[in-house]
Amino acid sequence: MSRERALVELVNEAGRVVGSTTVAQAHTAPGQLHRAFSVLVLDNSGRLLLQRRSAAKTRFPLRWANACCGHPAPGEPVPDAGTRRLAEELGLTGLALTELGVYVYRAADPQTGLVEHEYDHVLLGRTGVTPALVPDPAEVAGLRWLGAGALPAAVEAEPDSYAPWLLGVARLLVTP
């Protein structure tokens, strides 16, 4: 089944489930608030793994974003969904994820007309070594590591090159 036909949980502003709909319907303008997640991967040098979203993505294609993101199925624990998507998109397994908090945002994609309106659980995975990654080309157009402290300036210099949620989710990151 296409991910666009998969079900997502509709939630209220407090994150309580109020129903479900398909991914495609949740992102049709004006957008419906739904549960999502964004995974940040940080190495011991304080670098964040950034993914350039593939051209095939239905929302914000070819923009740099966090390591991966997606939607848990109704009732699926968010960390389990994040672990699943890391494996599917990047071939990255065995990384423990912890939740940093929630970032709620709404962003319309001027290229596709679709809308992100997400109750976004931000997950963090720390890695001691640079992991071997096997990105799925249907999902990922490129990967790079960037110092977490350099991210705001990079986004400010080229805002249209980055996903609109990236700075919001990265602000929940507290580096050691």
Which H or E element spans position 83?
helix 78-90
Question: How far does the chain reach from its first CA to its final CA, in angstroms?
Answer: 41
Rg (CA), the chain: 15
CA distances from 34 to 42, 70, 83, 129 (A): 26, 11, 19, 34
Q: Is 158 considered catalytic here?
A: no
**Alpha-carbon span 102 to 142, nearest angstrom:** 26
Annotated active-site residue in 9, 116, 118, 139: 118
Q: Is 118 considered catalytic here?
A: yes
- For the CA atoms of 8, 13, 17, 19, the dihedral, rounded to the nearest 10 degrees, stands at -60
CA distances from 152 to 2, 55, 146 (A): 34, 24, 11
Annotated active-site residue in 69, 89, 116, 139: 69
Which residues form the catalytic set?
Answer: 69, 118
